[in-house]
Copies of this chain bind each other. A is one copy, B any other.
Amino acid sequence: MRLPPADSLDARAARLGQLFADESIDALVVTSLPNIAYLTGFFASAAALVATSEAVHLVSDGRYAAGLEARGREWSRLHTSQLGPGQSYDEALVDIILSLRGLRVGVEASHLTLSRHRFLTRRLAAEGWTADLMPTDGLVERLRSCKDQWEIAILRDGGERLSTVAKCILSKALAGRLEYEVALEIEQQLRRAGFERPSFDTIVAAGPNAAVPHARAGSRRIQPGELVVMDFGGVLDGYCTDLTRTVTAGPPGQREAGLIAQLAEAQAAAFQVVRPGHPPESVDAAARDVLAAHGIGDAFTHGTGHGLGLEIHEAPRITRARPTQSEPLLAAGMVLTLEPGVYFPGWGGARIEDDVLVTEGGADWLTDVPRTQ
């Protein structure tokens, strides 16, 4: 697994430091694991971090001792420590925060639970720390939403590998196979293509199961002619890829072929709107308008896409406009999915999904696989 080099991490730290002024903070307690991986290149199932404009203090536990030490060696700004015996992460955070006396400290309000916030506040107060921990929202996520060159190279590589896997899978006969057998073959191909693991539980949903957008892969035997939704992706160097194709076992009927063509048209319309400065809602609307014009708008029951990166769902959200929140405008470096889908309960459904990079001038497809049979 390639880890981000020190100069990428320096640049990320500098960008984070620039956000501190707007929030009137001098340091940020980071408790989201993907945010920690982004800021340090340290991937673990448990860790905590405090970033100031000068240094990054990272704590993890004994299981990750070797990785922790290696990261500390590779990036001079990083100060690493291991949990003491019986010490909790929150106790370790209290110690780090107390060493920053005089600084204004923020926390990640969308990740820190009420319980952890209460613990930190109480313990700090007992040590004479009187300032509030300032709630902040999505600071590191904002940085993560625009990928740097190092990340874009990985996501391009991932998109190419995923396309190769998809073409291989689409070349195989499906009739008579169980959904989960196809899913396992996809996961095997993902591993062979160099992905570390699937980005999420692979979906292979046939016939009426294809009408359930959150279906996984079950024990249904695929019947000739029925729609089969295959939604899968792999993680490369920590970064998620994501692709969906819908096919039939054997030649598609007229209704099936028509739906897939309409989804491809909706996806192409959405792609046309992807460029810096456009609101994500306009991308969603472009896909939605096409499906509505074909009379199947009501069957499109989810958003058009989502950001991709260290998490399979991250900013930006490509959905309908919401009355109470607005999404940031699209910007160069964003990587997102375009995945219109239609669902007809009891009968079947279809979805087409590809990954897209927002460029200075518009957008590039990161995945390249035929959309129709």
Contacts and interface: CB of A to CB of B under 8 A. Distances in A.
Interface of A: 44-45, 62-64, 66, 85-86, 88, 91, 107, 109-115, 117-118, 135, 137, 180-181, 184, 187-188, 191, 196-197, 201, 212-214, 216, 218-219, 301-302, 320-325, 345
A302 B216 contact: no
A interface SS class: loop
- Counted per complex, copies of this chain come to 2
A88 B324 contact: yes
Given A44-B214, A86-B322, A187-B187, A62 B301 contact: yes
Contacts of A196: 216, 218
A301 B114 contact: no
20 contacts: A62-B301, A62-B302, A63-B212, A63-B214, A63-B302, A91-B324, A109-B113, A109-B114, A109-B115, A110-B115, A111-B113, A112-B113, A113-B114, A114-B114, A118-B135, A181-B188, A184-B184, A187-B187, A191-B219, A197-B216
Sorted from nearest, which 9 A-B pairs have the closest CB atoms?
Answer: A109-B115, A109-B114, A110-B115, A180-B191, A86-B322, A62-B301, A114-B117, A63-B213, A112-B114
A45 B214 contact: yes
Contact of A115 (B91, B137, B180): B137
A129 B72 CA distance: 49
Given A110-B115, A113-B113, A184-B191, 10 more contacts: A62-B301, A62-B302, A63-B212, A63-B301, A109-B118, A111-B113, A118-B135, A181-B191, A196-B218, A197-B216
A109 B116 CA distance: 8
Contacts of A66: 212, 345
Contacts of A64: 214
A4 B113 CA distance: 29
Contact of A184 (B85, B188, B214): B188
A91 B110 CA distance: 16
A189 B118 CA distance: 45
A14 to B, nearest CB: 26
Contacts of A301: 62-63
Contacts of A321: 86
Nearest to A86: B322
A91 B118 CA distance: 24
A86 B323 contact: yes
A83 B240 CA distance: 29
Nearest to A345: B66
Contacts of A212: 63, 66
